Amino acid sequence: MPRKLAAGNWKMNGTSAELDQARALMAACPTAGVDILICPPATLLSRLSDLVRGSTIATGGQDCHANAMGAHTGDLAAEMLADAGAGYVILGHSERRADHNETDADVQAKVKAALNAGLIAIVCVGETEAQRDAGQTLAVIGTQLAGSLPNGMTDDRLVVAYEPVWAIGTGKVPTLPQIGEVHDFMRAQLLARFGNTANAMRLLYGGSVKSSNAAEIFAVPNVDGALVGGASLKAADFKGIIDALEAA
Ligand code: PEP
């Protein structure tokens, strides 16, 4: 069984004051039976990493550049995230794909950069509402997985997050059978491409996860945790999700 992961994506939210939420979460989780991750805005990464060092909480970035260094104003190299204390980086989030026109090939190049820097890549895939309505969900997920992942991925370096675009920040959640269908499909695709190591790859669900719906989502086979946006911003809300994952 993969070790479960509760990952919080703070997106473009949080200044110094929000480090108190991490302090509160740290105090609430002195021990943990699951991995806990916070991906803050880059401006907080170094301070958050220092704050949680030695605790049950790991930190990650929300994106990285495909290159290791160079003339890329405003961008961050994976090595810089690692140097700031990150252990993970989220790549190919639908907001990056939409706002910055990131393609599967772009995401794959970033995954390679993340691996070179020693980071664990959390690669996001997910269909739009129009694609689901057109019956294209599995085809879209299959294409994104094939294009976004380099060869030779192993369970210790890759996490995949299924995030239906229409469920992110909307309060809408797929049915449990819909989540299960996609997660079973992803596991099969990863097994076919990477072999047995894929049995231990963490497959996260993301999209309007809250403490009130977490337990039923975590009971779906092949759901190994969650990537959480809004409900990761407050320690008490995120703790509820972590508790549900520990109990699953
Ligand atoms: C996300 O953007 O990764 C996400 C899952 O957001 P939310 O939990 O707010 O839907």
In angstroms, the CA 87 to CA 56 distance is: 13
Residue 74 identity: G
Cite the active site residues. Answer: 93, 163
Closest ligand 1 atom to residue 231 Cα is: 8
What pLDDT, in 10s, does the model give residues 72-88?
999 999 999 999 999 99
Judge whether residue 1 has pLDDT over 90.
no
Which CATH number applies to 5-247: 2.40.50.220, 3.40.50.2020, 3.20.20.70, 3.30.1370.10? Answer: 3.20.20.70
Question: Angle at the Cα of 59 (from 55 to 63), degrees rounded to 5?
Answer: 175
Burial category of 197 from C-beta neighbours within 10 Å (exposed 0-12, middle 13-18, buried 19 and up) = middle
- Provide the whole-model pTM: 0.98
What pLDDT, in 10s, does the model give residues 186-227?
999 999 999 999 999 999 999 999 999 999 999 999 999 999
Q: Is the dihedral of CA 152, 155, 157, 161 positive or negative?
A: positive
Confirm or reject: Cβ of 126 under 6 Å from ligand 1.
no
What pLDDT, in 10s, does the model give residues 92-101?
999 999 999 9
Residue nearest to atom 4 of ligand 1 (CA): 229
What pLDDT, in 10s, does the model give residues 33-52?
999 999 999 999 999 999 99
List the one residue out of 9, 45, 36 whose CA is nearest residue 230.
Answer: 9
